[in-house]
Every structure is written in C-alpha cells, then in structure tokens.
Amino acid sequence: MENSTKTEVFSWIKSLLAVVVLVIICRQFLFTPVTVNGGSMSPTFHHNDRVMVMKMSEIEHSDMIVFEAPTSSDKHIKRVIGMPGDRLRVHNDQLYINDVLVEEPYLDKNKESSPFALTEDFEVEVPEDCLFVMGDNRLHSGDSRMYGFVPEEDVFGEVKIRFYPFSGVGIP
C-alpha cells in the first residue's frame, strides 16, 4: 500500500510541475494579462479592466496594442492608427490613411457626448519600423500625437480579450 501511495504522489507532483512549466512558457512567449490604467481608451476600456495580450500576433490597423511608453517604463494600451509607411491625415475629425477615409466606429460614443472635435487636424507619415497610436478617448489621451511614433520593437502584443470585469468579458 505504501508503494502505491508514493507512486500516486509522485505522479501528482510530475503533473503539477508540467502544468507550472507550461504556464510559465505560455506567459513568457504567448500571452500575458495586463491591467488597464487610466481612461485614455474609454469607452472601449476603463481603468482597472483586465485584458489578455497575445504576444505573437500580426499587428494591423485598428488593433489595440500594449507597448512600453516612450515617456516612462509604463505599459500603455492604445489603438494602432498608422502602420509603417502610412500617410495619415486628420481633417475635420475625419481620419484618412493614404488618402482613403477610414471609419472609426469606436469613437461614436465619445463624439455623441462632446461638443468639440475629438481629434485636432494633423498630417504625418509613419516611418519604417514604427507605429502611430491613439487612444479612443482622444480628448484625454497621451499618445503618438504627444510622444511620437512607437517603435515596433517596443510592442508587447495585441489585446485579444477582456476577462475582467466579468460583466464586460469578451472581445473588445
């Protein structure tokens, strides 16, 4: 009886170690949880929302990414507006990427509640290996309009799912 108990305990220990190693590998190379700080992505995300970031993802226009902020060691969450080589222009609160008008439905709630234009007029070309990012709460967002382009190498990954609060669980 004692030998079978030892075998059972050893089997459980091996299984638990395998799970721990798998979790560490997944967290290091595939995905990681991140907590939203501040309101720059409101109403898409709110302060203290918890999201899962996929580290191995191909970034595209309108993706929400987590990156190391150029102005501090904080992680920021913003929306990708411009990719390398893009010509961006905002005129009368309308975004044009390479002279094509782009709809931004994620701004609708903020536009309804503001008597002001959300985004000032500007024009910029995104350099190679960089991204241009902005928060959805354009009137209250520190983003590429203030601190410049985000090097692609500073991107941790793409936000894939919100898992807290439970009432907001899902794909943003």
List the structure tokens of 52. Answer: 């899962």
- Residue 111 among the catalytic residues: no
- Residue 40 among the catalytic residues: yes
Structure-token match 């669980």, residue found: 169
Integer Cα distance of 91 and 146 in angstroms: 18
Integer Cα distance of 77 and 45 in angstroms: 9
Q: Which of 42, 78, 141, 144 is catalytic?
A: 78
Q: What is the DSSP letter of 167?
A: G
Q: How many CA atoms lie within 13 A of 133 on its CB side?
A: 31
Q: Which of 4, 14, 15, 40 is catalytic?
A: 40
Question: Catalytic amino acids?
Answer: 40, 78
